[in-house]
Structures are given as structure tokens and as C-alpha cells.
Amino acid sequence: MPCTWLDLTLCLALAVTAAGAAAAGPGEVKMERLHGAAWRFGGVLGERIKANAERWLLVAPKNNPGLLDMFANRDKGPKPNLVPWAGEFVGKYLISGVQAMRMSDDPRLRATLDGVVSRLLELQAEDGYLGPWPKAERLLGHWDLWGHYHVIEALLLWHEQTGEAKALAAARRIADLICSTYLDTKRRVFDAGSHEMNMSVIHGLALLYEKTKEPRYLRMAEEIVKDFERAGDYLRTGLAGVEFFRTPRPRWESLHAVQGLAELYLITGDERFRRAFLHHWASIRRCDLRNTGGFSSGEQATGNPYADTPIETCCVVAWQAVMIDALRLTGDPTIADDIELATFNAIAGAQHPSGEWCTYDTPMNGRRVPSHVAINFQARPDAPHLNCCSVNGPRGLGALSEWAVMKWCAASPDAANVRGTGTSRPQPNGLAVNFYGRMEVKTALPNGTAVTIRQESDYPLLDATKLTIEPSEPQHFGLFLRIPAWSAKTEVALNGKAVLGAKPGAYLELAREWKSGDTITLRFDMSIRHEPGDLEQHGKASFYRGPILLAHDEQMARGEGKFRPWMLLEAPIPGGQPLKLCDFASAGANGGPYRSWLPATGLRPPPPVPLLPADGARVPPGPIRFAFRKPAAAALADRKHYLRIYDSPSAERVVLGLGDNPKPPIVVRAHEAKLLKPNVPYYWQIISGTAHGDSESLPPHKHFIIDPTLPPAPDLPAAQYGERPDDAAIIIASLCGDPKPDWGHLKDAKGWKPAPGPDGEPNGAIELDGQAGRVTYGIVEFPDRDFTVALWLCVTALPKTQYGQVFSAWCKGMDDPLRLVVHQGKLHARIEAGQFFGTDGWPVELGKWVHVAAVKEGAKLTLYINGQARSAAKVPESVVSSAEDFALGGNPHFGGPEFLACRLADLRFHARALSPAEVREAARRGAPK
Ligand SMILES: [Zn+2]
């Protein structure tokens, strides 16, 4: 049975009762998907939806019997030969399958999915287990909870679509097994490992709780929130305004765990969940959104959307799901703009036009490769086409049935717009139209009246669309039309008469009595526009026509190849010749290379990205330091940055504006900060300008509050890394019998004692014991481009474990911007940044003092011993690390023992590359006599 509006309201009301008295009440949705609606799509996406059904959904199960056989075989014979996430494949396949059923009445589709669901349910074990692993391992490891999360979601959707009670019952039995394994037992979900994956089951439990009101499912979800603190820490980092890419687990799977926070807000009304969820959404939008509307950089967030790193299809699907939740919670139409961008470009680009395959990686510049080729390690003889992306990609199109038109649940933002017959304002009874293009949806208004909305349109190939509204009887309701932020001027007409008031980036509300046959026409501004690049794409621009990203594909431009583009046009390139460009979705469809970042000159800057103070931060009285993403080195010469501080999130009134800086930070001095009131939120924005124009940082704007109870901040140096102005020193510590630095901040020191220095004088060094000895210094930020770490080192015993750290800034997996590490008797300088980089090793002589320096200058890391360059390695030019400290004698955060027994003296850490002569000079100082 499709869930009705009344059911949902009742569900939320009941949810509060079940959740106990602590919660203030159920959370508010501004917009909700249309449950039980029937959808049809035409136009370019309609063709893709049809191809997906014909060439994937209808054939994948019979071509890949392993999809279900893996469950049948779990306890037969040898250990299953599967990837750890194999249990997700059937759930992901079914989620997109049910979505496709909403968009089609093809009986073959229903029959195919029915066959898969029926056999899947038969394969559920007595205890509720529905994964592919042997009995002794049920739910305890692999990505087994993650797999069950997808199965729970699939069964809930199937139940909603078909009314089959046994699907819901099977989902409940899974959740019951999860509870009997992990709730009020000695085990925690944390113990299952693979945390960002397995903890995502929180989202499935929350959805199932909403459906069933079973209190245990909510309690289990709340227990997982506690486990978050030992893994991804999504709630606390979200409340603290930590950028998502700097959280402990910024991989894409975490996005589904973060969705759990949105659902917990709706269940409990606890504002903390809403704030944390929306913070992570906004952080990815600000810091990691690709020009295709996609997300991820090597399967995770990195804070840099310009690198030519892979954009995985699963990550885009997860990002789209987060955006749909953010739209539900905020009703912000610019989120629907972002979803539209992702759908027409990243999603449609991930699917081959044949419908037979989708990519693993849909790069901004590069080629399209089928996922069953690119990640064929996931394939098995009985499942040649199955991998994480092949089963997940179709969900990107299926999601149209969740955002194209939505139920409007919020009270009207502008009561004056209400015209009509009623004397009192009606309850929210409206629909939001987010999607434009050929389509039809049959649904019911919140009050139960049947209504059909039809669009005749060649959008986005042409610039206009015509909507026909057909209520079953004349009805008063609000229709909210998304006016895209990119459409500078949008013409709207109702039954042929012009309607004024369409504003870019806002909904246009038409509240009236609607009669069958009423029409609305919209004409958008589809002039070609461009977005400039930064970092790796500096000096290049992306071009758009409406929501369509344009790309250059030489084969498409020449009209060669079997697959034809949606559009092919000649675009003017600033500073270059006009170029034939096609839509990004079709680019690469014939196998050739393509580019969506194109060389251009005379560009305005890209939108700057505000970083610190963290959103919502309480800052002490005194000077305030504003940091933002550092532009490409080549941009520093002609780019300027300005700060604007506002007294409201709508950014209407500037209360303070200053700056003229080529790079971060901008510091508001103490006397200027006195113009701001304490205990009041202020919102801030960075504006970036070149001779060719300005760009502003994107909303939502971050805010800060001056807290007069905090000790006043010292007058800060105007430096990004807190470095000393004269010599760019970050930490200077002589270590003469004491770890206290002459410049910088000591966080912690243990397991050390004074020791003779390199020259033999007493108290010339410190000695670390190699057991627990570790000295930790705090830093503002690790230098992303150039730096030098130099010190005197005398190793007194080789580490008994794999690594002994002289210096390490490790803060999480694959994030250590510098380590000087003793490994197999040799000293190496290394960087961990998504992958390993490092110099050759220098043999360690026990008991002998050597002067060691690691110098990073752009893309080169050099290891100096006693003032001589001994080895160099190629490393990334820019390494953005989350490190906020580093340690001597051990790893500052990693739990495993990486201690080193050694003596150390004269530590110098600078935010610049010292010259060879300067390193030689440092090695002369304090040298052994
Ligand atoms: Zn994938």
C-alpha cells in the first residue's frame, strides 16, 4: 500500500512517543517525495530510462546468476570467494529496479523484479540473515551490515510499491537479527569493522523504524550514533563545523551513515541531527563539488574538486541521495539546481547511451570505461557484470521519481501571494516542480485530490517548457516552480498571461484555484556561461548551456561514431577560437577522449571557498583570522580576496568589509573586531576578484559568534600557518634538555628525559624511550606546498615494530603530510596523501648523531643528511592535510606502536623550502666536535 500523507504525519507523531520524552517533537520536512505516484519521462532522459530497463534491469539477473546464488551457496563448501561488499549487489539492483517500476508499467519489469525478490526472500535464513557469508560470520565482519542496509532499503521500497507484506516482514527479521546481535549484548556495531560501511545500516534502521515504530530499531540506531565517535564521528564533527573532507572518515560510504542523521532528526525532532547533517551537505557543496555536479576524488572527499582524480559512480549516487535529503529538510531550490546538474551530467554521463553498462569513473577530462572492465576484480564467473557501480548507477536515474515533483509541506514563505476563494489560509497543500523536461506524473495532493502534471518540452535541448495541470476537480493549492539560479531572466506565463516575480535561485509560488487544463509556460535564459577553474584547472573554464555541461570530444565534433550527442554547438571560448562542443553526458560514448575543462584567458576567478573559523564557531574577543582555500600558485599574481561580514544569513547588510589579500588569511584586527557585538551570529563571505571580474563564495554562508567568556586572542601574525613573519618558522625548539619550544605550541610530552647534545654538552638534547616516549606539538595547519623540517638525530635502538617515527604528522588513513621514519634500518622522508610517496632510505648508524632535513619545494621532496641532499622523490605539488599536530619519537594518533628510541636536538619547522645553503648552515650549527 502506498503510504499516504496522513499516514506519514501520524507516523511522525507516533515516533515521538516511542522515542521518549527527551525529544522536542518530530522534525519538520519542507518537501517530501510523492509516495505512490506514477511517473513517465520522455526526452533525452526518458530514452536513458528506457535503455536502462531494457538492457540492464530486465537482463542483469539472468546474465548474472551469482546475484542470488551467492546467498544460496553461503554455507556450502569452501569459504565464499567474494568481495567484502558482494552482499550489497542485490539490494542496490532492486532499489533502482523499484524506482524504475514507478516510471514504467512494463509487466516484464515487474515480473523480473518479482522473481528476484521472491527468490531473495526464500534465501533468508531462519534467524533473518540475508547475506552471502557463512553461518559463523553472520553480521560480524566483511561489509555485511552494509549489504543488509541495501537489502532493507530495497525491501521497504518493494513493499511500498507492491504492498507485499512478506517483504516488510523480511526487512524486520533482518533488523531483529541486527538487534539480537548488537543491542544490549556485549557486541557493538563498531566491532564489525569497515566502519563507514557497516555503520551506514543506521539509515536502514531509521527508515524501518519510521515504517514500523519498533522502538528497538530506533535504540539500535541511537547506539550506532555513539559508535560514530570512534569512527567517522559525523555528529560531533558536524556540530563543530569540521569540513567533511577533514573528518576522520571522508570516504563516500559515510554519506549513507550521514543520511541516518537526517532521518533521526525527522524521527526525534532533535535539532543537533539536522545541523550536523546539513553541515556535511554544505561542506561537500563548498569544498568538493565537481563541475559535472558529481562528487568524490578517488572514492572520497579531499577538499579539491579540480584534480583529475576518479569520480566514482557510487559516490555520485550517494551524493545525490544526500542532496535529496537536504532538499527535503530545507526546501532550498538551489539544491534542486545541484541535483539537476548531477543528473544531466555526472549521472547521465556515467551511463552508456546503450543502457548496457555504466562507468566506475566518469572523469571531467578523460575516457568512459565500462565498470565491468575498469573494476573487473569484482566480477565472478557467475556474475560477470556485477560490481558496486553497475548495480548502483541506475539509481541516479531512478531518483527522478523522488525529486522531479515533490509534495510541498512547508507553510508558504509569502502569504501575500495567496489568491483564491478561501477566507482563511489553507494548510500546506502544494506541489513543488523541480524538474523540467518531457514528463508526466499522476499523484494526489496532500488533501487527497488526484492531480496530473504534464510537461511538453524539449528542455534542456531547447529553452522552454509547457506544464498542464489537471486536478480531478477544481482545487486551491500552491504550485512552486523552481527558477534555476543559472537562468538570469525567466519568462513565466499562466494561461497565456505573463506572471511577474520569477527570481533566479528561488521558487515562484502560484497559489490559486487550479482547474483541469490550466497551463504554465516557462522560458529560461540559456545563454552559454562559464565557470573558471582553480588549482589543477587554473587557466581553464567549464562551459554550460542551461543545466548541461559542455565538453569537447573530437569524434563527436566531427560527427563520427555510432552514438550521437544530445546537442552539438559552437561555443565562444574567452581568449580562444570558437570550439564545437557536445553535452557532457554523450561525450566519450564512442570511446574517444574528451575534455570539459578548456583553456581560456581573461577569466574572472572561481568562487572562493571559506574554511575557518569553522561554521558556528565561538571565537574569542580580539583579532579574528579568516582562512579560505589557497588559489593556484599561478593565480596569486593577479587575484585579490575580500571579506564581508553580514548580520543575517541572507547577506543583505554588510557590517564589516575589508581585505585586499592575494592569499589567505584575512585578519580582522582587534580594534576592527570591536565593531562586532558579542553573542550574536555573524555570517561571512569571501569575494575574489581579478581584472576580469569578481566571484563570491557560495551560500549557505558560515557564521561565527564572539564569545566574551573566552580568553582574548593574542594579536595574531597575518599568516596562514601561524608562522613567524621574519623566517616562516612554525615550530622552533632547541630541545636543550626540554621539549618546550621557543616558537610554537607544545601539546604533550611523555617518556622523555634530558640528554647530552650532538656536541656532547649535557642538556643539549632530549632522549625518547622508544616505549611511550613522544613529544607532540600543535600547529594551525600543515603547509600544503613548501616546508622544511630539520633536526639533529641520534637513534639509540632500532624499532622492534615495523616503523619508528622520528617525526610524523599522521592524522588518519592516507593522511600524513610528512614522516621521517626508520623502516628496516633506514631513514626515509615520506608523504601519505591518498597514496604513498617517499625518498630512498639512508642507513641508520646506532649511537651516531646526524643532521636530518626534509625539504618540500613544490612537487619535490628532498632528504638531506648532514647538509647534503641524499635522495629526492616526486610528490604532489599541493597536499591538503587535516593534521593539526605532529609528534617526535612516535605517531601522534595511530594506535599501533611506532615509537623510536632516539635523542633529538634543534628542531626547526618552517613553512618554506630552505635553500641548500641554508640547510648546510643548519647542519653546521651544533655539529659534533
Ligand atoms: Zn562503485
pLDDT of residue 878: 79
Span from the CA of 186 to the centroid of ligand 1 (angstroms) = 33
Span from the CA of 636 to the centroid of ligand 1 (angstroms) = 37
Across 484-501, average pLDDT? 97
Confidence of residue 482 (pLDDT cuts 50, 70, 90): very high
Beta-carbon count within 10 A of 850 CB: 19
> Cα–Cα distances in Å, from 546 out to 344, 350, 490, 498, 523?
10, 20, 12, 22, 11
> Cα–Cα distances in Å, from 333 out to 338, 430, 549?
9, 15, 19
Least confident span in 14-18, 120-124, 853-857: 14-18
Span from the CA of 89 to the centroid of ligand 1 (angstroms) = 10
> Cα–Cα distances in Å, from 605 out to 53, 287, 891?
43, 16, 39
pLDDT of residue 419: 38
Span from the CA of 194 to the centroid of ligand 1 (angstroms) = 16
Across 664-687, average pLDDT? 94
pLDDT of residue 685: 97
Span from the CA of 349 to the centroid of ligand 1 (angstroms) = 15
Calculate what percentage of the chain has a pLDDT beyond 90: 84
Look at residue 845 and tell me whether its pLDDT is greater than 90. Answer: yes
pLDDT of residue 716: 56
Span from the CA of 253 to the centroid of ligand 1 (angstroms) = 10
Span from the CA of 593 to the centroid of ligand 1 (angstroms) = 22
pLDDT (tens digit per residue) in 430-441? 999 999 999 999
pLDDT (tens digit per residue) in 360-407? 999 999 999 999 999 999 999 999 999 999 999 999 999 999 999 999
Span from the CA of 432 to the centroid of ligand 1 (angstroms) = 31
pLDDT (tens digit per residue) in 169-198? 999 999 999 999 999 999 999 999 999 999
Span from the CA of 558 to the centroid of ligand 1 (angstroms) = 33
What distance in Å separates the CA atoms of residue 718 and residue 720, rounded to the nearest whole number? 7
Look at residue 32 and tell me whether its pLDDT is greater than 80. Answer: yes
Q: Which three cell numbers stand for residue 823?
A: 623502516
Residues 6+ apart with CB under 8 A from 806: 791, 793, 820, 821, 822, 827, 852, 888, 889, 900, 902, 904
Span from the CA of 260 to the centroid of ligand 1 (angstroms) = 20
Please say whether the beta carbons of 127 and 177 come within 8 A. Answer: yes
Task: Quote the Cα angle for 7-397-362, to 5°.
Answer: 140
Query: Cell 527535503 identifies what position?
Result: 328
Task: Report long-range pairs for 829-832 (Cβ below 8 Å, ≥24 apart).
Answer: 829/854, 829/861, 829/862, 829/863, 829/871, 829/873, 831/856, 831/861, 831/875, 831/876, 831/879
Across 55-75, average pLDDT? 98
pLDDT (tens digit per residue) in 542-598? 999 999 999 999 999 999 999 999 999 998 888 888 899 999 999 999 999 999 999
Provide the residues around ligand 1 (an ion) whose CB is within 5 A. 314, 388-389
**ω into residue 394 within 30 of 0, thus cis?**
no
Span from the CA of 315 to the centroid of ligand 1 (angstroms) = 7
pLDDT of residue 882: 82
Span from the CA of 252 to the centroid of ligand 1 (angstroms) = 10
pLDDT of residue 635: 86
Span from the CA of 346 to the centroid of ligand 1 (angstroms) = 14
Phi, psi of 37 (to 5 degrees): -80, 155
Beta-carbon count within 10 A of 895 CB: 6
Span from the CA of 85 to the centroid of ligand 1 (angstroms) = 10
Span from the CA of 321 to the centroid of ligand 1 (angstroms) = 15
Look at residue 10 and tell me whether its pLDDT is greater than 80. Answer: no
3-state helix, strand, coil in the chain (%, to 5): 30, 30, 45
What distance in Å separates the CA atoms of residue 332 and residue 693, rounded to the nearest whole number? 27
Across 228-250, average pLDDT? 95
Across 529-553, average pLDDT? 96
What distance in Å separates the CA atoms of residue 832 and residue 308, rounded to the nearest whole number? 18
pTM of the model: 0.84
Nearest by Cα to 788 from 727, 703, 729, 854? 854
- Residue 514, class by beta-carbon neighbours within 10 Å (0-12 exposed, 13-18 middle, 19+ buried)? buried
Span from the CA of 313 to the centroid of ligand 1 (angstroms) = 6
pLDDT of residue 742: 92
Look at residue 420 and tell me whether its pLDDT is greater than 60. Answer: no
Q: Which three cell numbers stand for residue 188?
A: 557493538
Span from the CA of 584 to the centroid of ligand 1 (angstroms) = 20
Span from the CA of 228 to the centroid of ligand 1 (angstroms) = 23
Look at residue 163 and tell me whether its pLDDT is greater than 90. Answer: yes
Residues 6+ apart with CB under 8 A from 574: 530, 541, 600, 601, 602, 603
pLDDT of residue 428: 67
Look at residue 308 and tell me whether its pLDDT is greater than 50. Answer: yes
Span from the CA of 436 to the centroid of ligand 1 (angstroms) = 28
User: What single string gives the DSSP state of each residue in 337-404?
Assistant: HHHHHIIIIIIHHHB-TTSS-BBSB--SEE---BHHHHTGGG-BTTBTT--TTTTTTTHHHHTHHHHS
pLDDT (tens digit per residue) in 721-765? 778 878 899 999 999 999 999 989 899 999 999 999 999 999 999
Span from the CA of 391 to the centroid of ligand 1 (angstroms) = 8
**ω into residue 892 within 30 of 0, thus cis?**
no
How much is the mean pLDDT over the chain?
92
Span from the CA of 676 to the centroid of ligand 1 (angstroms) = 48
pLDDT (tens digit per residue) in 323-359? 999 999 999 999 999 999 999 999 999 999 999 999 9
Q: Which three cell numbers stand for residue 272?
A: 543537533
